[in-house]
Amino acid sequence: MSTPTTFTIRNNRSSEKFEVNGAFWKLREQLKHEIEGKTLDETIENLANRVKGKYLFSRRLKTVNYSIGMMNNIIDRGDAYKMVRVAEALQGRGIELIGKAVADRPHIKVVLIAGPSSSGKTTFSKKLGLALEQYGLEPRCISMDDYYVDRERTPRDESGEYDYESIHAIDIALFQQHLSQLLSGETIELPRYDFASGKSLKSGNTLRLTPKTTLIMEGIHALNPLLTESIPSESILRIYISGLTVAKNDDGTYYSTTDNRLIRRMVRDHQFRNTTASATLARWPSVRRGEEKWIIPFQQNADVNFCTAFQYELALLKKKAIPLLEEVPKSDPNYGEAQRLLWVLNRFHDIPVSFLPSHSLLREFMGGSAFKS
């Protein structure tokens, strides 16, 4: 006689302090009559012009306010493409305003971008770089991942696994040294971390800041003061980004706030790292513990909080995510979580992947990005 399979559904809530009950468009009801009958370009211009820079320098930057039912109605009536384009334009407008804020403050030489796993830090950094170029600045993007210590020096968590979320997985001394040298006008050779071998290598790439250079550094620990304690605070702009899930039911209740990031990571890891959904789900609790300990507590240090989630993204990610989740067998300890995510994704009507522009932040996870690594 076979033993019944048992499983638990994890609490996937987040302690991040973003408020997602409002609208990035300020209020949908206020605007819906104004954009009715407008072309796509007219709609984008109308909405984007309402996004003011002051909203970005707030600890309560908000996101759009559709319920799943409302989104499904938009998809069913053939307006999904318009919804995607408008959301992309609004996010682009927000990044452009951050670029202007940096350009208006010539004393800022370093922009630090932090956020938990699968927030889209890499693409956000590159988009911000393009925004800075519009204002005559010369951005240089550096990933803090290249400052990882050799794998044998990486600390371990309570389970004995390598704890890549720990600040001590970063070569703090080397990072501080390089940042001080750059701000003093010196030339450095950037490190390169080889994930396959777990070794820090010489890259052969050198960097020196010019009067027009703005250094953009992204990484999960970018807001940790241990990394920048020796740097004048006025030289730095600190940005915290995250892809908080904004999907909600028609009664106003929200889904788990970290589902977007978990599904993004699952799709990305399968496509680029040949990782199964089960492996990603198994690793996720450890990732979340690391975030709660090493990343989220420092979001209060941010000058700018920015939500990188798109209201529509689960309707688009589902095409790649559902087959991966369906492969998780009943005997797997992660089966319960896989079934929960399947239930969430199946609530959304489909949006074709072809609707997603190549410059979208979501392309970092789905592939086909116009931004090269």
Q: What does pTM read for this prediction?
A: 0.84
E strands of the chain, at which residues? 110-114, 138-143, 188-194, 199-207, 213-218, 236-242, 304-307
pLDDT at 38: 67
Question: How far, in Å, CA of 124 to CA of 92, rounded?
Answer: 10
pLDDT at 26: 44
Instruction: Identify the sign of the CA torsion 15, 108, 26, 311.
Output: negative
Q: How far is CA 187 from CA 43, 112, 128, 246, in A?
A: 47, 20, 24, 43
Instruction: Identify the sign of the CA torsion 257, 269, 367, 359.
Output: positive
pLDDT in tens, 49-97: 655 555 444 433 344 457 888 889 999 999 999 889 888 888 888 898 8
Question: Is the distance from CB of 227 to CB of 174 less than 8 angstroms?
Answer: no
The alpha carbon torsion through 29, 344, 296, 269 (nearest 10 deg) reads: -120
pLDDT at 49: 60
Question: How far, in Å, CA of 59 to CA of 304, rounded?
Answer: 7
Low-confidence stretches of the chain (pLDDT beneath 50): 1-9, 18-31, 55-64
Question: How far, in Å, CA of 177 to CA of 175, rounded?
Answer: 5
Q: How far is CA 2 from CA 5, 6, 295, 327, 334, in A?
A: 9, 12, 44, 21, 19
pLDDT at 253: 73
Average pLDDT value for the chain: 84
**CA nearest neighbour of 5 among 353, 328, 264, 352:** 328
pLDDT at 214: 95
Superfamily grouping for domain 30-366: P-loop containing nucleotide triphosphate hydrolases (3.40.50.300)
